[in-house]
């Protein structure tokens, strides 16, 4: 498999690696290391295999910080929305 400069597996938009029958999701690929993300990507892979299409809405995946108290959020920040001129 091909890795990027950070040691992550390089995948295409359908999570395929350079080895045609191997797909990767979760912590070994791009993005945050979140169980929710990996689970959604795994569902998308099954959809690609079975139906020929799949989708992950990365903006809807919750993030969490295991502190005391715990902090969680989902979606874009106010700053991100303002920078993209998106009304909220």
Residue 59 · residue 76 · CB < 8 Å: yes
- Non-local (6+) Cβ contacts of 69 within 8 A are none
Instruction: Give the whole-number percent of the chain exceeding pLDDT 90.
Output: 86
State pLDDT tens for residues 20-63: 899 999 999 999 999 999 999 999 999 999 999 999 999 899 98
Which pLDDT does position 80 carry in this prediction?
Answer: 92
3-state secondary structure of 1: coil
Quote the Cα angle for 36-39-44, to 5°. 125
Average pLDDT over all residues of the chain: 95
């Amino acid at each position: 498999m091909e890795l990027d400069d950070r040691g992550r597996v390089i995948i295409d938009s359908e999570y395929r690696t350079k080895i045609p029958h191997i797909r990767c999701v979760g912590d070994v690929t791009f993005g945050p290391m979140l169980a929710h993300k990996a689970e959604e990507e795994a569902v998308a892979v099954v959809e690609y295999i079975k139906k020929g299409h799949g989708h992950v809405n990365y903006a809807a995946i919750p993030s969490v910080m295991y502190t005391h108290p715990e902090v969680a959020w989902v979606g874009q920040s106010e700053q991100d929305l303002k920078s993209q001129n998106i009304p909220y």
